[in-house]
Each structure stands twice: as C-alpha cells, then as structure tokens.
C-alpha cells in the first residue's frame, strides 16, 4: 500500500497547475468579460488552499506515525519525541517552513477572495493573479527544490530528532507568527499591484487594504515580540534583541508596514502621497520576501557568500523580478497618480505623517544598510566589514526619539493647517507631565542623558494619549450625560480605528520604557562560587547553595540552587539549569532563572554557565544580571494586541449599499482598455 | 485609458474634493518648506548612518585572512569566523573562560575568551569571535557567537 505521504506529494504537484490556472484565468476573465471564468479563478484559489491543507495534514500524519521514509520527518523528529513538538518539527526545517508559508498564504488568499469579494470586485481578477503568482513561486520551490514530502530510498529505523533549541514553548509560537507575518504582507502588495494593473488608482484599493495591512502589522508585530521573549527567556545572554540579521530582517517590513498604515490615512483624507503609498506596499512585500530568504539562506551569517543554500538563487531571482516588474508598472502609471491636493501648511497632521514616514523609512534604511554592510563593503572595497549593536543603537536611538516626540504631537495637530496657538495650548499639559516624569526619573537615580531624553519622550506620548481620551470622555459626558466608564467604552467602541490606534501608541510607550530601562541600566557580573558563598550585584546578595542532578525521560538536568536577598530579606529563590537532551548531549541547553521583583520592576536573571568538582563540593560559574523594566516590554506586547484587536474588530455599520452583480461586472469590464 | 471620470466620482468618498491643481507652477510656499523639512530629516539620518558606520564597523575575516594581514592586524578590532578544531577546547576557571583553536582550510590560531559560552559551542562548531588579535598570535575575544540559532538544518 502506498503511504499517505504519497497522496500529499501528489496534492503538492497538483496545487502548482491550479495556482497557475488562477493567475491566468483572473485577468483573462476581465478581458473576455466572463463572470464564470472569474468565479473559476476564485475557486482555483480555494482549491489551492484545500490541496495545501491536505499536504500539510499528510506531513503531520507522517510525523505522528513516525514515517521516517519521508526524508524531512527523519531529519526533524525521532521516535521518543513527545507529540507536542511535532508542531515545531513541522516548520523547524527549510522545506517545512516553506510549506507553512505557502499553506498560510493559500488560506489567507481564500479569506481575501471571500471577505473582500464584494467590496473590491473590480480589483479581484488582478488580486487573485498576484496572490496566486506568489503562491506559484513557492509551489515551484516546494516541488522542485525543497520538497517536505520527498521520500528516502530506504526507511531508517529512527529519525535524527529535533534540535533541543526548538524544544521550548516559545518556539511553538514565534517562528510561525514571524513566517505568517511575512506572508501576510502579500495581501497589501496584491491590492497595490491590482490597482496599478487595472488603473483603478483612487482610494478604492486603500480602503479595502487597510484591514489586511493592519492584520499583517499585528501578526508580524506579535512575532517580533514573541521572538524577543523567546530570546530573553531561552538563549540566556541577558537580552532580548541583538540586532542579528535575522531579527533585522523581521523588523524592516514591520517598520515600512507601520509607515504604510499611517500614510494611507493621508491619501484617504487628502488624496495625497499616492505614489509613496504604492511604493511602501511594494517595499514592504519585498522586505518580507527578503526576510523569509535571509532566515533560510545564510547569506548574511557566513563570512563568504558561497555558503548560500540551494534556494538562494530562486529567492534572489524572485525578489529581483518582483521589484523590477512592480517598479516598472508604478512608473508606467505615474501619469494617473497625480496627487489631488497639496500640502497647505508645514504645521498640519499630514506633514506630521509625512515626517513620521520619513523617519520610519530612514530607520529601515539604516537597519538594511547595516545588515547588508558586509556584502557591500566586500563588493566595493574588497574587504568584509561588519557592524554590531553599537552601530544600530547609535543610529536608531535618535530616530526613535524623534518618532516618539512626533507620536506625541501629531494626534493633537489638525488636518490641513494647524493653528500654532491652539497646538501650544493643547501641548501645555502633556509637556508639563513629561517634564515632571523626567524629573521624577532623575530623582530616582536615572541620571543618563539618553535615558532621560527617552523617558521625556515616552511620558509625553502617554500624556497626549491620556489627554485625547480625557477630551473624548468629557465631550460624551457633557453631550450624552453618560457616566465616565460608559463614556469611555462607547468612545472606544464607536471610534475603534482612532482609539485602538492610541492604545497601540500606549503599547509603544511601554515597550520604549522597557527598552530604555534595560539598555541603560542593566547590571551584570560573572562569578564562580563555592557552595554557601555569596556574590553582590547591585542591591542584591546572591547565595549559591549547591548543585543537584535530575533525570527525566528525555533529558538529564543539572540545577543550581540560589537564594537572592535584599537588605537582609530573602526576595527570590533561583534555580538555573543546564539540560542534556538525549541524542544531543554535546549541545546542552540553558534554562535561565528569571524572577521579576516588584516594586522596582527589575528582573533577576541568572544563567548557570558551568561547574567544577573540587574538594569542597561543586563550584558553579554563574552569569548574573539585573535587568530593569524588561517586563514593561511584555506588558506593552499585551497592550499592543488589545489595541490592534480593537482596531481590527468590525465596526457595526449602518446598512451598507451593496453593489449589485451586473453593475459591478459592467464596471469591471469597462475598466479594461 | 481605463477608468472613466464617472467611475472616479462614484468611487471616491464624498468628502474628498476631486480638484487637481496644475503642476509645480501652482505649488504654495508650504511645499517648499516641507521639502526643506524632509531634506533635513534625510540629511540627519544620512549623517547618523555615516557616523555610525565610521565609528562602529569592524573587519569581518576568516582566520587565514586575518593572519595574512600580519602585524597590521594587531590590536585592531576584528570579527573572525572559523571552525573549532576538535579536541582543542580547554575550559578554564570553572567554565567562565575557554581556550580553543579556531581554524579554516588554510589557517589556525588560538583564541582566548572570557564569558558565557553559547549552548551549541563544541568541536567542529562554526563560530564567530569578536575581539583583538594580539602580538603573541593569540586572539583575545570579547564575544563568541556560535552559528546562528535560526538555522537548524542538518548539515548534509
């Protein structure tokens, strides 16, 4: 009997021609004005989703039944691997992660053709073509270069097992979120290209795309936060962000995507920045593909680029083709893209958005330049140079400061022309709050100029957001005579976009404060202690009690027992571990001990580095950190999700006029020259 | 071309006036000021990047490339990639320091490193060290990075 994976193998092959069919059938339907053909293209999208769901299901089945005849299963799992790690094994390797990308894209594409069918029917033929065009690329790679269901000529008795670094709850969440985040920027790109291809370049595509862009922003943002959380809790170097090429690659599309979400408001309200918005949609997609590619190719992590994996040229080719074709199309449509209005005043909401965009793009450029600097310096000067965290901190610090200040001022600025007098009056209270907050921080001992500037900016933003809420509530209380709590709920519920956005701004404030606290005021030291010995770090005395050994079914654990005291009182017990997993004894993993201590909001963070047997017992080498304010980052992450959820939640709308099918079809057909 | 003007009017939200002003000639003083502001932002960012690269970039070399530079490389900050020679790892002072030989196809040099050793460090590991090459031929590393943990693929 054929194994089930062969069925998946076939489905993967079949998905390719179906996706290609949809690429052709969509635009063709427009040309020959055939609604049935358009519907068949849409069904093609749904069929690709069904086929790839089947492919993914057979891969999961192969993992569950330990079918080591499938090469990918043999490489990524073993018989003694607990069932829950199958999820991580699925996308732990190259072929599986590409399948995950293609599969989630097919699901999201189905959601797009179903949910946006009515609101953007005239664009749909091209949206389908672009979405399935991207899908086709991934299916080509999956079928011909990196096939997760490829069978080995023999069936090994057991698999290699999963890398223990992947055996962590954090790994369940952040890689799939990051990959899905990259993937979901395909939708805004598809709408942008559809607008360009069809010549329907007014606000129609923007209004539909906002929600999809917001979704991508949310998923990628959550992925970045979860990735930082994982790095902090698992990797054991005391930090959460290292400006590693892989992190940078994920940050860049999020930055340009953030710029896009802000600048489309300017086009919506004022009909300006049209070319810029299309450019941002294209750039964000290109950066997302670059991110997917960087993670998998190793182009930036090796000293010399010959270590690039087999899929490297495919991704590079795809990226180059996408960029050239998109920009050529944008250029071709320039005559249709003249802005309807122009800037009226330097002091206005739209100018603030423009500067916000410039800062975000400059930051992206700085990160991009630093990330590819080794390649550039080698090409230009024939010597490979590289930059580390000092470069990024030096460049990003001032830009982020400027962004925060702008984030504080912009919501109080009027569209078109803000009166300076009014603006100054509105800014009085936030400015006062920011100054007192900074003073308090200085009195508490945060005496570093960079940190104080950051705190000033962060408190300023928080105060303007509070002011906006307070004003909104005051108006409702006065006009609708509502109690404060009701006024607040209704205010947010009826203006989800605006107040959800403010809540996201608050999340950024919390994250900024966490970053400032932990990067300016981290304390650390490395010590070797005999049992009973103590070490001092900041206000804490840490006593090492001894070492113990445990065994579980999967691993041998070495654990150090520690007690932390402050002013003679015990504040925490810490048990950092090293774990030696079966089959991976040469690669022990660290379990960091982290205790968040209130009221100072500091993390005590202890890593067990090593140990040595001596006459008086086991000496332990420890890396001790005091990380202030890191928990604010995770709190900010939660607030970020609350804010984006409010913004994404459908606003109950008064009965909407629905375009009738024949009219829509006429228009659709009429828009083709 | 494609869309008719009635299409445009049908689809545009009511509050956006569909006026199109003539080209550059009709632009107001605000546009010039905003252009200036944009230029200031771009210049400032460019300066930050330039300055950052000047002060914070280091050489990224293989072991043999570093050695080929000879005395010129002494005490220069550098980042060197190579493979850990099997059997060369000596752990010192209870695991907080390590000595090993970093090699590539045509060169090898001893490395001293004080600090936390990454989990996946061991024989044959690809590592990147950052620090200074000293006159004694020993590379004193301030950081030790093992091959990026984002690539979990088996080496075939």
Range of the domain at A22: 1-167
Q: Is the dihedral of CA A638, A644, A648, A651 positive or negative?
A: positive
- Please tell me the least confidently modeled range out of A220-229, A240-249, A433-442: A240-249
Selection from A312, A320, A283, A307 nearest residue A296 by Cα: A312
Segment B29-49 mean pLDDT:
88
If asked whether residues A391 and A254 sit together in one domain, one would say yes
Segment A91-116 mean pLDDT:
93
Q: What is the pLDDT of residue A586?
A: 66
Residue A500 located in a structural domain: yes
**Residue, of A666 and A26, whose pLDDT is higher:** A26
Confidence band (pLDDT; 50, 70, 90) for B94? low
Q: What is the DSSP string of A584-622?
A: -TTS-EEE-EEEEETTTTEEEEEEEEEEEEETTEEEEEE
Alpha-carbon gap, residue A12 to A408, rounded angstroms: 50
Using a 10 angstrom Cβ sphere, with 0-12 exposed, 13-18 middle and 19 or more buried, the burial of residue B33 is: middle
Q: How far is CA B146 from CA A388, A587, A589, B19, B124, in A?
A: 15, 11, 13, 60, 11
Cβ <8 Å between A344 and B30: yes
Q: What is the pLDDT of residue A240?
A: 94
Confidence band (pLDDT; 50, 70, 90) for B6? very low
If asked whether residues A493 and A638 sit together in one domain, one would say yes
Confidence band (pLDDT; 50, 70, 90) for B139? very high
Percent of chain A with pLDDT over 90: 62
The residues that bridge with A595 in the sheet, in sequence order, are: A604
Q: What is the pLDDT of residue A453?
A: 96
Confidence band (pLDDT; 50, 70, 90) for A170? low
Q: What is the pLDDT of residue A32?
A: 95
Residue B13 has pLDDT above 60, yes or no: no
Give the model confidence (pLDDT) of A337-381 as tens digits: 888 888 888 888 989 999 999 999 999 999 999 988 888 888 888
Q: What is the pLDDT of residue B114?
A: 84
If asked whether residues A29 and A116 sit together in one domain, one would say yes
Q: Do residues B128 and B80 lie in contact, with contact meaning Cβ atoms separated by under 8 Å? A: yes
Token output for A427: 């800014």
Confidence band (pLDDT; 50, 70, 90) for A122? very high
If asked whether residues A620 and A636 sit together in one domain, one would say no
Residue A619 located in a structural domain: yes
Residue A268 located in a structural domain: yes
If asked whether residues A504 and A371 sit together in one domain, one would say no
Q: Which residues of B touch A165 (CB under 8 A)?
A: 119-120, 149, 152
Segment A120-142 mean pLDDT:
96
Using a 10 angstrom Cβ sphere, with 0-12 exposed, 13-18 middle and 19 or more buried, the burial of residue A338 is: middle
If asked whether residues A267 and A409 sit together in one domain, one would say yes
For the ranges A295-309, A393-407, B4-18, the one whose mean pLDDT is highest: A393-407
Token output for A203: 């606000």
Cβ <8 Å between A395 and B79: no
Q: How many domains does chain A have?
A: 4
If asked whether residues A410 and A455 sit together in one domain, one would say no
- Please tell me the least confidently modeled range out of A248-262, A282-296, A585-599, A637-651: A585-599
Residue A492 located in a structural domain: yes
Segment A193-204 mean pLDDT:
92
Confidence band (pLDDT; 50, 70, 90) for B23? very low
Confidence band (pLDDT; 50, 70, 90) for A164? low
Q: What is the pLDDT of residue B148?
A: 45
Q: Which of A389, A414, A439 is the last residue of a domain?
A: A414
Q: What is the pLDDT of residue B26?
A: 47
**Residue, of B35 and A32, whose pLDDT is higher:** A32
Confidence band (pLDDT; 50, 70, 90) for A582? confident
Q: Which of A353, A386, A414 is the last residue of a domain?
A: A414
Cβ <8 Å between B13 and A377: no
Residue A652 has pLDDT above 80, yes or no: no
Q: What is the pLDDT of residue B25?
A: 43
**Residue, of A292 and A666, whose pLDDT is higher:** A292
Segment A502-531 mean pLDDT:
94
- pTM metric for this prediction: 0.88
Alpha-carbon gap, residue A128 to A23, rounded angstroms: 7
Nearest CA in chain B to A400: B45
If asked whether residues A402 and A430 sit together in one domain, one would say no
Alpha-carbon gap: B136 to the closest alpha carbon of chain A (Å): 24
Q: What is the pLDDT of residue A654?
A: 54
Element containing residue A344 per DSSP (H, E): none
If asked whether residues A17 and A153 sit together in one domain, one would say yes
Residue A322 located in a structural domain: yes
- Please tell me the least confidently modeled range out of A94-108, A201-215, A243-257, A580-594: A580-594
Confidence band (pLDDT; 50, 70, 90) for A298? low
Q: What is the pLDDT of residue B118?
A: 74
Cβ <8 Å between B81 and A303: yes
If asked whether residues A374 and A428 sit together in one domain, one would say no
Alpha-carbon gap, residue A505 to A522, rounded angstroms: 25
Residue A201 located in a structural domain: no
If asked whether residues A537 and A487 sit together in one domain, one would say no
CB pairs under 8 A between A and B: 210
Residue A206 located in a structural domain: no
Scanning B23-82 for CB atoms below 8 A from A yields: 27-28, 30-31, 33-34, 37-38, 41-42, 44-45, 48-49, 51-53, 55-62, 79, 81
- Centre a 10 Å sphere on the Cβ of residue A211 and count the other Cβ atoms it contains: 17
Cβ <8 Å between A667 and B7: yes
Nearest CA in chain B to A403: B41
Pairing of strands A540-551, A534-537: antiparallel
Selection from A160, A80, A88, A6 nearest residue A553 by Cα: A80
Give the model confidence (pLDDT) of A550-561 as tens digits: 988 778 899 999
If asked whether residues A404 and A483 sit together in one domain, one would say no
Residue A661 located in a structural domain: no
Alpha-carbon gap: A21 to the closest alpha carbon of chain B (Å): 25
Give the model confidence (pLDDT) of A35-85 as tens digits: 999 999 999 999 999 999 999 999 999 999 999 999 999 988 888 777 778
Segment A151-179 mean pLDDT:
80
- Centre a 10 Å sphere on the Cβ of residue A580 and count the other Cβ atoms it contains: 17
**Residue, of A18 and B56, whose pLDDT is higher:** A18
Q: What is the pLDDT of residue B1?
A: 38
For the ranges A157-161, A202-206, A583-587, A612-616, the one whose mean pLDDT is highest: A202-206
**Residue, of A204 and A222, whose pLDDT is higher:** A222
């Amino acid at each position: 009997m054929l194994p089930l994976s062969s069925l998946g193998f076939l489905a993967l092959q079949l998905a390719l021609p179906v996706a290609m069919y949809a690429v052709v059938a969509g635009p063709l339907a427009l040309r020959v004005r055939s609604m049935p053909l358009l519907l068949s293209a849409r069904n093609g999208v749904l069929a690709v989703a069904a086929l790839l769901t089947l492919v993914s299901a057979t891969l999961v089945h192969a993992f569950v039944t330990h079918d080591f005849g499938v090469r990918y299963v043999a490489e990524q799992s073993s018989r003694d691997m607990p069932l829950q790690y199958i999820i991580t094994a699925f996308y732990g390797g190259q072929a599986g992660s590409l399948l995950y990308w293609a599969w989630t894209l097919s699901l999201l594409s189905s959601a797009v053709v179903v949910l946006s069918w009515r609101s953007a029917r005239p664009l749909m033929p091209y949206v389908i073509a672009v979405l399935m065009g991207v899908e086709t690329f991934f299916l080509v790679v999956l079928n011909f270069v990196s096939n997760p269901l490829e069978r080995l000529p023999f069936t090994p008795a057991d698999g290699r097992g999963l890398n223990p670094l992947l055996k962590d709850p954090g790994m369940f969440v952040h890689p799939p979120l990051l990959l899905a985040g990259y993937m979901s920027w395909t939708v805004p790109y598809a709408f942008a290209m559809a607008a360009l291809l069809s010549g329907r370049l007014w606000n129609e595509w923007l209004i539909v795309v906002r929600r999809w862009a917001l979704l991508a922003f949310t998923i990628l943002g959550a992925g970045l936060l979860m990735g930082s959380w994982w790095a902090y809790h698992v990797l054991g170097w005391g930090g959460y962000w290292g400006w590693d090429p892989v992190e940078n690659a994920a940050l860049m599309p999020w930055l340009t995507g953030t710029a896009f979400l802000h600048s489309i408001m300017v086009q919506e309200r004022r009909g300006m920045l049209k070319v810029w918005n299309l450019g941002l949609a294209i750039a964000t997609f290109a950066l997302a593909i670059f991110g997917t590619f960087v993670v998998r190719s190793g182009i930036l992590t090796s000293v010399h680029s010959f270590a690039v994996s087999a899929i490297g040229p495919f991704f590079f080719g795809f990226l180059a083709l996408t960029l050239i074709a998109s920009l050529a199309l944008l250029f071709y449509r320039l005559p249709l893209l003249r802005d309807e209005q122009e800037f009226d005043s330097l002091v206005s909401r739209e100018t603030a958005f423009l500067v916000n965009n410039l800062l975000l793009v400059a930051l992206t450029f700085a990160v991009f330049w630093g990330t590819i600097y080794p390649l550039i310096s080698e090409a230009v000067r024939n010597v490979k140079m590289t930059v580390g965290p000092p470069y990024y901190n030096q460049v990003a610090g001032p830009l982020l400061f400027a962004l925060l200040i702008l984030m504080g001022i912009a919501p109080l600025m009027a569209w078109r022309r803000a009166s300076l007098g009014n603006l100054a009056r509105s800014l009085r209270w936030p400015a006062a709050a920011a100054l007192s907050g900074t003073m308090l921080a200085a009195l508490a001992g945060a005496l570093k100029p960079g940190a104080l500037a950051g705190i000033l900016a962060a408190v300023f933003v928080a105060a303007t957001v509070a002011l906006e809420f307070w004003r909104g509530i005051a108006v409702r209380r006065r006009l609708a005579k509502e109690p404060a709590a009701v006024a607040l709920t209704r205010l947010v519920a009826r203006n989800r976009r605006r107040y959800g956005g403010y809540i996201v701004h608050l999340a950024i404030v919390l994250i900024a404060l966490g970053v400032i606290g932990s990067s300016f005021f981290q304390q650390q030291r490395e010590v070797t202690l005999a049992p009973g010995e103590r070490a001092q770090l900041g206000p804490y005395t840490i006593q090492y009690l001894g070492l113990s050994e445990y065994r579980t079914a999967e691993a041998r654990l070495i654990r150090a027992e520690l007690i932390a005291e402050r002013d003679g009182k015990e504040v925490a017990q810490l048990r950092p571990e090293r774990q030696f997993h079966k089959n991976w004894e040469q690669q022990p993993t660290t379990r960091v001990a982290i205790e968040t201590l209130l009221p100072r909001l500091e993390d005590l963070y202890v890593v067990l580095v090593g140990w040595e047997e001596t006459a008086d017992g086991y000496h332990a080498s420890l890396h001790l950190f005091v990380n202030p304010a890191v928990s604010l980052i995770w709190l900010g992450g939660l607030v970020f999700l609350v804010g984006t959820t409010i913004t994404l939640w459908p606003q109950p709308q008064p009965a909407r006029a629905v375009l009738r099918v024949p009219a829509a079809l006429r228009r659709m057909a009429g828009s083709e020259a | 071309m494609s869309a008719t003007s009635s299409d445009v009017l049908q689809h545009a939200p009511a509050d956006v006036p569909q006026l199109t002003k003539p080209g550059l000639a009709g632009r107001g003083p605000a546009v010039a000021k905003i252009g200036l502001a944009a230029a200031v932002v771009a210049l400032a960012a460019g300066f930050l990047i330039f300055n950052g690269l000047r002060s914070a970039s280091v050489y990224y070399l293989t072991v043999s490339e570093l050695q080929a530079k000879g005395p010129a490389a002494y005490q220069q900050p550098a980042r060197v990639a190579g493979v850990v020679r099997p059997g060369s790892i000596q752990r010192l002072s209870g695991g907080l320091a390590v000595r090993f030989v970093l090699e590539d196809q045509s060169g090898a040099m001893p490395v001293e490193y004080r600090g936390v050793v990454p989990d996946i460090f061991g024989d044959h590991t690809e590592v990147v060290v950052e620090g200074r090459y000293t006159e004694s031929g020993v590379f004193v590393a301030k950081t030790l990075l093992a091959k990026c943990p984002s690539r979990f693929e088996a080496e075939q």
